[in-house]
Structure 1
């Protein structure tokens, strides 16, 4: 039964993502309240599912933020993210600070432990989806978001797709124009565009479709950079 519900959830999410890439649909015959309830159900299902590693990283991130608050050491977000990255590395995670700048400059943390799994950690996640005058339905949906996000790229893509769609619906219901920085492509660029990865004191260009295995081959072929690569710790 659980697997059947999971399959339904995945199917609903993929329908959301596919609809984003199509022209704006005709008005639905379903009540808006029914659509919003469905979105909230899907979002809660995605965010309520954690792997063992995701839970472990989440606990470390929450502990770090809690300690900063207890010690009254809340600093600029960029400094906080760098310190969290170093804290995760001390706990044995191959963490890097990622700086994207395709459409929007943004910083987040990732952990790559093998060639097929990349975890995204964002301690400012919920604030990226805040609206000044949200509708009641959007406020209910966005209240499901965690302040700190920890999850796979696939999970993040699903969440961003749902929220981007909901933001546009919220603005249109309020009779407002959808600005460029609220569109799906802009929101996605924060986490899924080309970025530089800061690992200790080393900056590494990174692209989502560019695997570390290929990067290692390229660096090893360049004699002047081989010693620099030896300073990296890549857990595969």
Structure 2
């Protein structure tokens, strides 16, 4: 479901949070968990699994992430209006640096139970795709999401879930296998949080819906 926060506010907050988190280096925001987010009170399993996933990264991921960091340093000078323009800027800069980059849009339908009848709502999402060769000259596809952490917000989160979510990278760079692992892990923690709070688990917070944002088979490159 779409957020009530405007894209302008989300973009401003993204950039503000990014630099306040110390995102001027590769290791700070994408591949390692911040130390201040490492205090899970009851069950540290989700946290340690998250740490393991994030620390397993490749040179290609390091390379693209460092490029995105460099581009973001110039964002404050450009007066961009929303995150869609930020994505386009990142794609443009990657292309200028001789990378193959695209804007990808996914769409999917999710069942929704309402008054004993099942209906469907259609949703869509956008992210940046980079196609490149690794050290062994194998073609690889990387997903670059400039608004990753905010996708996992919950109403009335438990302290454990809130700390786990805060440990997610603001900006994600990785392949489909990594994002699949992250979504499985965080959605499991989200369902646990909602259950502990006695709240309904909405369809847009379930794994199938969340995975579709990045892994839907209905994916197209947008001009």
Provide the TM-score with structure 2 as the length reference: 0.70
Is 2:72 aligned against 1:68? no
CA distance in 1, matches of 2:73, 2:53: 25
Alignment counterpart, residue 50 of structure 1, candidates 46, 57, 60: 57
Q: What residue in structure 1 maps to residue 171 of structure 2?
A: 148
1:68-217 matches, within 5 Å, as: 68-69=75-76, 71=77, 73-103=79-109, 104-113=123-132, 116-193=139-216, 194-198=218-222, 201=223
Larger proportion of helix: 1
1:65 is displaced (CA, Å) by 2.2
**Gap runs ≥5 in structure 1:** 1-31, 202-236
Q: What residue in structure 2 maps to residue 41 of structure 1?
A: 48
1:48 is displaced (CA, Å) by 2.1
- Moved >4 Å (runs of 4+): none
1:1-40 matches, within 5 Å, as: 33-34=42-43, 37-40=44-47
CA distance in 2, matches of 1:33, 1:116: 42
Tell me the matched-pair count.
165
1:92 is displaced (CA, Å) by 1.5
- When Rg is computed on C-alpha atoms for both structures, the one with the higher figure is 1
Larger proportion of strand: 2
CA RMSD of aligned residues (A): 1.7
1:183 is displaced (CA, Å) by 0.9
Deviations 1:170-194 (A, max 9, x none): 1111000001111111101100111
CA distance in 2, matches of 1:185, 1:46: 20
**Gap runs ≥5 in structure 2:** 1-40, 110-122
- Greater RCO (CA < 8 Å, at least 6 residues apart): 2
SS in 1 for 2:108: coil
Deviations 1:50-87 (A, max 9, x none): 21111111111122223113x16242111111121111
